[in-house]
């Protein structure tokens, strides 16, 4: 039973570029959430997708956007990259419309470095 998988594992970009990160949820899960984790910090919520719609959003600018596909997989897009976007980007999946009371399971993340 595959857990949450993310790709790529590492990525290096330069300022101003755009990046797309990908996530496949755990089997049986239909809800995907994205988090940004800076070094030495806890993960910060970016947004959550359910039924291909963005359901909740954290305090991140519009440069951060996402998408969920009919097979529940998801993408995170970041435009006009800044040095401060360097972080570990985590995807978490869970089940059900009431995502607030179901455990979210995380992938191992994509390490994004901005030069």
Q: Which residues bind another protein (CB under 8 A)?
A: 4, 33, 35, 40-45, 48, 55-56, 58, 90, 92, 99-101, 103-109
CB closer to another protein out of 31 and 81? 31
Give the shortest CB-20-to-another protein separation in angstroms: 19
- Please, how many CA atoms are within 13 Å of residue 62, restricted to the half-sphere of its CB? 0
Tokens representing 37 are 């984790």
Minimal distance in Å, beta carbon 45 to another protein?
Answer: 5
Q: Please, which residue, 16 or 61, has the CB nearer to another protein?
A: 61
Pair 93, 105: CB distance under 8 Å: yes
In whole angstroms, the minimum distance from the beta carbon of 77 to another protein comes to 20
| Residue 110, preceding peptide bond in cis (omega within 30° of 0) | no
- Quick one: DSSP state of residue 26? P
Which CB sits closer to another protein, 28 or 40? Answer: 40
Tokens of 65: 């956007």
């Amino acid at each position: 039973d595959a857990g949450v998988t993310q790709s790529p594992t590492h990525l290096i970009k330069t300022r101003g570029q755009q990046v797309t990160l990908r996530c496949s949820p755990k089997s049986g899960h239909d809800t995907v959430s994205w988090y940004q984790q800076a070094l030495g910090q806890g993960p910060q919520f970016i947004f959550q997708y359910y039924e291909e719609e963005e359901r909740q959003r954290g305090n991140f600018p519009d440069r951060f956007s996402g998408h969920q596909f009919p097979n529940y997989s998801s993408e995170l897009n970041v435009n006009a990259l800044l040095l401060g976007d360097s972080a570990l980007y985590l995807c978490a999946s869970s089940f059900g419309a009431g995502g607030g009371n179901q455990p979210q399971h995380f992938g191992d993340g994509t390490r994004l470095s901005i030069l």
